[in-house]
Amino acid sequence: MRHATLLRTGLSALLVVGAWTAAGPVSASAAPAPAEPPASAALLSAMQRDLGLTEQQAVTRLADEKAATALEKKAQRAAGSAFGGSWLDAETGRLTVAVTTAERAEAVRATGAETRIVEHSAKSLDAAKARIDALKAPSGVSSWHVDPATSRVVVNVVAADQADNDVRTFVAKARKAGPVTVRTTAETPRTFAAGTVGGDPYYTGNVRCSIGFSVHGGFVTAGHCGGVGQQVRGWDNSYIGNFQGSSFPGNDYAWVNVGSGWWTVPVVLGWGTVPDQLVRGSNEAPIGASICRSGSTTRWHCGRVLAKNETVNYSQGAVYQMTKTSVCAEGGDSGGSFISGDQAQGVTSGGWGNCSSGGETWYQPINEILNRYGLRLHTA
């Protein structure tokens, strides 16, 4: 931010709130500091509102998700080539790992995870999805992803278009690529950029989007919000920087350098109505985990991770390796932050529906963006 008097709500992860100060010395007789809460009061409140939880249930869920996230890689290694995917069971709070053999199931259970015997490995399902990725999808096909719980590739078709000849032809070809289940969705996916609205966080030309997460030297956001070299202006119309990298479609990510008196801090802002959330890392939450989104239009909303590595068929072209959530979003929220507990997850891309009637939203995973551009997340 340029200076303290310019602080306002609306910049999700770029603005400084108050001063960062070093702690003074603590005497040997001082009482130990209380344990840090699992998340800000704002995030817990949003989880209660959007997931129908009590405060204690939200706290318990975050603890379960943290444990599942830490266990997921270990359990996958134990499953070896029999690994069929994994997800968090919201009822039990345990990580469930799909495996293709009983022998590997025993090894996975030894790590502390639950297991389910399935027909297909994750490797074979990913190969089937890759074959579907090579097909040209009509507009009536919304998206497709691997579902580890059913051990199949799920192809999502817009309900009103399921009888369309092009849609039926695509589905027939997809079935030849591997084990496929067809489901219906309410609407065609779209990106969530918006026309210029005065006083909101950042602009490129006549497009308004939201900041995702601070990285050292700038911030990450959605690729469809601007192309390489395009100038970015802040909420006060002052110059922030330029798009240094951008990819859309195929991907939907970008990063913007920060200069001209602006700086970065590891927070996702609460837009003036809720406290801010510190960002402490980017450990990837499993399928089934709770997740919250912050954006310049609809502020805080929460939901669940529904699917990973989903291909989304926007009108501008397909975008790959997206994560689908049950969180709502609206125009102007594009690029904004998806966070699970205090762990950055990704930047808002698009979806269908709105925050009045509900819907689904996809994000581009943060670690892919960091790796692509060699960026380092700014953490607390």
Query: Looking at residue 134, what is its pLDDT?
Result: 97
Note the pLDDT of residue 7: 40
Which residue has tokens 């990973």? 308
What 8-state DSSP symbol labels residue 379?
Answer: -
Assigned token pair, 12: 């999700």
The sign of the torsion formed by the CA atoms of 65, 66, 72, 74 equals negative
Backbone angles phi, psi at 214, to 5 degrees: -70, 135
* Catalytic annotation, residues: 224, 252, 334
From first to last of the 380 residues of the chain, give the pLDDT tens digit: 343 333 444 443 443 322 232 333 332 334 444 455 666 677 788 889 999 999 999 999 999 999 999 999 999 999 999 999 999 998 899 999 999 999 999 999 999 999 999 999 999 999 999 999 999 999 999 999 999 999 999 999 999 999 999 999 999 999 999 999 999 999 999 998 764 434 458 999 889 999 999 999 999 999 999 999 999 998 788 899 999 999 999 999 999 999 888 888 898 876 655 567 889 999 999 999 999 999 999 988 999 999 999 999 999 999 999 999 999 999 999 999 999 988 999 999 999 999 999 999 999 999 999 999 999 999 98
Cα distance between residue 89 and residue 220, in whole Å: 31
pLDDT of residue 47: 87
What is the dihedral sign for C-alpha 83, 88, 89, 92? positive
CB-based contacts of 101, cutoff 8 Å, min separation 6: 82, 117
Residue-level pLDDT at 31: 42
List of residues 6+ apart from 215 with CB closer than 8 A: 255, 264, 370, 375, 376, 377, 378
Mapped onto helix, strand or coil, the DSSP state of residue 108 is helix
Asked whether 300 and 352 are in contact (CB, 8 A), the reply is: no
pTM given for the model: 0.83
* Backbone φ and ψ of 346, nearest 5°: 175, 180
CA distance 99 to 296: 41
